[in-house]
């Protein structure tokens, strides 16, 4: 049961909608990310936390946030991806912001197909230890190592900025250049970075962007990453209108203490708060 600190309501008219995608068939190393949505929901309980964000947004009273449950992932990959696209499109039709709980990172490709149909121009901010820009991995073009190659090839976003990268290969650097991707590698990351986006912004948050000290519950632990604090500060400083979020790659089998699920809930709350805050500001203006 999810409640995000008591914020989740049941209402046909909503501003933010959570959906889960318990899917890990496109993982290249370990399975387990299919358990992500359930673990995030369990961690979000209001008995453990409150509905207010650091910037003072009360997710219970300042907005209407619902949980629409999980996408059906019992069929083949085509059917699952189609179900993801349909579920996200239904949320966007209500002019609400989708918040998708993964699942492995392959799900961002069908999500962005729906986003690109609703928004003519989109920018993406992608947190990840990995660029996920391979042409294919072991012959699979839909692997969780490839979604951003597909997204940029299909023109589903106008720009893509990657944060937290520390496992780039020469091949992926070349693909980043070819596809016009701005990769901010960890070796070049400095506190205080402020990013501005001119188009509506979609955030895709792979939890392995965080250092394994803060988020060990991922399939591909890569040392030398962001602190949870650095990620939150960057989100708070964004100059952008955020219109959607996914948080992916939580592998509860590697997260016995729940610290990674807890980080996921925190990231979701803070991004949701910024989404609502900006909407309030534009309404007042
Ligand atoms: Mn990824
Ligand atoms: Mn990754």
Tell me what pLDDT residue 119 has: 97
* Alpha carbon of 127 to ligand 1 centroid (Å): 8
* Alpha carbon of 196 to ligand 1 centroid (Å): 22
Q: Grade residue 281 by pLDDT with cuts at 50, 70 and 90.
A: very low
- DSSP letters spanning 105-143: GGGHHHHHHHHHHH-SS-EEEEE-SS----S-BTTBTTS
* Alpha carbon of 209 to ligand 2 centroid (Å): 6
CATH 3.90.1150.10 fits domain 16-120+206-278: no
pTM over 0.95: yes
Instruction: Determine the average pLDDT of the residues in 43-49.
Output: 89
pLDDT (tens digit per residue) in 199-218: 999 999 999 999 999 999 99
pLDDT at 280 over 70: no
pLDDT at 226 over 70: yes
Tell me what pLDDT residue 173 has: 96
Q: How do the residues of the chain divide into helix, strand and coil, expressed in percent and rounded to 5?
A: 35, 20, 45
Ligand nearest to the CA of 219: 2
**Above pLDDT 90, what percent of the chain?**
93
* Mean of the per-residue pLDDT values of the chain: 95
The Cα 22–Cα 152 span in angstroms is 25
Q: 124 has which bridge partners?
A: 160, 202
pLDDT (tens digit per residue) in 54-76: 999 999 999 999 999 999 999 99
- Joined together, the tokens standing for residue 56 give 């003072």
Ligand nearest to the CA of 133: 1
* Alpha carbon of 206 to ligand 2 centroid (Å): 6
Ligand nearest to the CA of 109: 1
Ligand nearest to the CA of 126: 1
Instruction: Determine the average pLDDT of the residues in 226-253.
Output: 98
Alpha helix ranges (H) inside the chain: 36-43, 77-93, 108-118, 147-153, 170-179, 228-237, 259-284
Instruction: Determine the average pLDDT of the residues in 273-284.
Output: 68
pLDDT at 276 over 60: yes
pLDDT (tens digit per residue) in 144-201: 999 999 999 999 999 999 999 999 999 999 999 999 999 999 999 999 999 999 999 9
- Bigger pLDDT: 284 or 268? 268
Tell me what pLDDT residue 207 has: 98
* Alpha carbon of 208 to ligand 2 centroid (Å): 5
pLDDT at 279 over 60: no
Tell me what pLDDT residue 278 has: 62
* Alpha carbon of 58 to ligand 2 centroid (Å): 31
pLDDT (tens digit per residue) in 96-152: 999 999 999 999 999 999 999 999 999 999 999 999 999 999 999 999 999 999 999
Tell me what pLDDT residue 284 has: 42
The Cα 87–Cα 61 span in angstroms is 25
Ligand nearest to the CA of 130: 2
* Alpha carbon of 220 to ligand 2 centroid (Å): 7
Q: Where along the chain do its domains lie?
A: 16-120+206-278
* Alpha carbon of 142 to ligand 2 centroid (Å): 15
Tell me what pLDDT residue 48 has: 86
Ligand nearest to the CA of 165: 2
* Alpha carbon of 167 to ligand 2 centroid (Å): 9
* Alpha carbon of 265 to ligand 1 centroid (Å): 18
Instruction: Determine the average pLDDT of the residues in 13-17.
Output: 96
* Alpha carbon of 207 to ligand 1 centroid (Å): 8
Are the C-beta atoms of residues 244 and 99 closer than 8 Å to each other?
Answer: yes
Instruction: Determine the average pLDDT of the residues in 224-230.
Output: 98
pLDDT at 1 over 60: no
């Amino acid at each position: 049961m999810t409640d995000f600190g008591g914020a989740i309501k049941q209402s046909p008219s909503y501003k933010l909608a959570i959906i889960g995608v318990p899917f890990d068939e496109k993982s290249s190393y370990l399975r387990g990310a299919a358990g992500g949505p359930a673990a995030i929901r369990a961690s979000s309980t209001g008995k453990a936390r409150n509905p207010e964000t650091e910037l003072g947004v009360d997710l219970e009273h300042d907005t209407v946030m619902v949980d629409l449950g999980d996408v059906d992932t019992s069929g083949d990959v085509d059917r699952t991806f189609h179900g993801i696209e349909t579920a996200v499109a239904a949320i966007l039709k209500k002019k609400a912001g989708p918040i998708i709980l993964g699942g492995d990172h392959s799900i961002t490709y069908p999500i962005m197909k729906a986003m690109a149909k609703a928004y003519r121009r989109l920018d993406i901010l992608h947190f990840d230890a990995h660029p996920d820009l391979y042409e294919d991995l072991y012959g699979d073009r839909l692997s969780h190592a490839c979604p951003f190659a597909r997204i940029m090839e299909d023109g589903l976003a106008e720009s893509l900025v990657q944060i937290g990268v520390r496992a780039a290969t020469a091949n992926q650097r070349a693909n980043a250049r070819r596809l016009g991707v701005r990769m901010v590698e960890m070796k070049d990351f400095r506190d205080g970075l402020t990013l501005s986006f001119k188009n509506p912004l979609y955030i895709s948050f792979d939890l392995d962007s965080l250092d394994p000290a803060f988020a060990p519950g991922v399939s591909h632990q890569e040392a030398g990453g962001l602190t949870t604090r650095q990620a939150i500060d960057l989100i708070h400083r964004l100059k952008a209108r955020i219109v959607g979020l996914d948080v992916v790659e939580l592998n509860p089998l590697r997260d016995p203490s729940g610290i990674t699920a807890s980080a996921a809930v925190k990231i979701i709350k803070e991004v949701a708060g910024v989404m609502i805050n900006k909407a309030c500001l534009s309404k007042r203006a």
